[in-house]
Amino acid sequence: MSFQNFYETGFQVISSDNLNIMLQIRSDICKCIRKLIDEDEKNDECLINNLHEFQSFKNLSDSEFNEKRKLLIGMVNKNFNITDSIYKAFRNSIRELLGADILGQRLANITIQKPLDNYPTFAHRDSPPNSHYELVIWAPMTNAYKTKSMSVVPKEESKLLANSISYSNSMIEFTKNASEICHTPKVDFGQALLFHPSLYHLSHTNQENETRFSLNIRFKNLFSPFGLKDPGLFFSPIEISNVTKLAYEFEMIGVKDD
């Protein structure tokens, strides 16, 4: 796969190496959803797309909905290693860009937005405090399009926004400026939006008639700078090269000698 667009703009839509892995991820998440809301919808895609229509979610206040979301995130991360599965699904792309020694975010983030959700995400970037030497994988659990997708501000425009943020009167104004220059790619299930954490990104109010349900996970190389977040708390090893394993054995001999 060519990553020319990623180098030029800081983002690119990529396809999974194995769609079955993505189907299994969605199936695992849906097992947790069914347990949480006690619904018997058998079709995973239908369950997620229509999550806002099920009684257990439909009449919740915003704060109650957010509590359900937190419970779901906890259930998913407790029962399944989503980060490892996402890495396997997009391994070729991640290794092409980061190299062989890979760390992944310990806990997967899950975003759920009902149609006409009152809390779209303000324009922001992850780095700083995250390291500039990371990649973000944003993977929707159903087809994402228009306001159901994620919006990113390309590299050069993000640089200009970073210099202008102190002149904005509010985050609402800043987000409005970002939304005028952002790109909102269509990302089908089985694909992911790969983007650099220094890009500004945001979500719009979901005006589609389906629930917006996505994962976002960060990956980095073991030997690149970590930024301001504690690496031991935020990341865990995903794949370590044989050379690094061998080097670690000899470093441990040095520790014992001391």
pLDDT tens across 164-203, in order?
876 777 888 888 889 999 999 999 999 999 999 999 999 9
Tally of CB atoms within 10 A around 108: 24
- Residue 231 vs residues 84, 99, 107, 239: alpha-carbon distances, Å: 17, 18, 13, 16
pLDDT at 257 over 60: no
pTM listed for this prediction: 0.92
Q: What is the pLDDT of residue 165?
A: 78
The CA dihedral of 34, 47, 191, 151, to the nearest 10 degrees, is -100
The answer on pLDDT for 93 being more than 60 is: yes
Closest Cα to residue 107, out of 137, 88, 90, 82?
82
- Taking the C-alpha atoms of 6, 92, 19 and 80 in order, what is their torsion angle to the nearest 10 degrees? -100
Is residue 118 predicted with pLDDT exceeding 80? no
Of the two residues 37 and 238, the one the predictor is more confident about is 238
Q: What angle do the packed helices 91-98 and 82-89 form, to 10 degrees?
A: 80
Tell me how far CA of residue 243 lies from CA of 58, 62, 219, 236, 248, in angstroms: 53, 50, 20, 18, 9
> What is the reported pLDDT for 167?
73
What are phi and psi for residue 241, nearest 5 degrees?
A: -70, 155
pLDDT one-digit tens code per residue, 124-176: 999 988 999 999 999 999 999 999 999 999 999 999 998 887 677 788 888 88
Band of residue 249 on the pLDDT scale cut at 50, 70, 90 = confident
| pLDDT of residue 258 exceeding 60 | no
Provide the pLDDT for residue 240: 93
Of 204, 200, 201, nearest in space to 160 by CA: 200
pLDDT for the residue 58: 80
- The predicted pLDDT at position 254 comes to 63
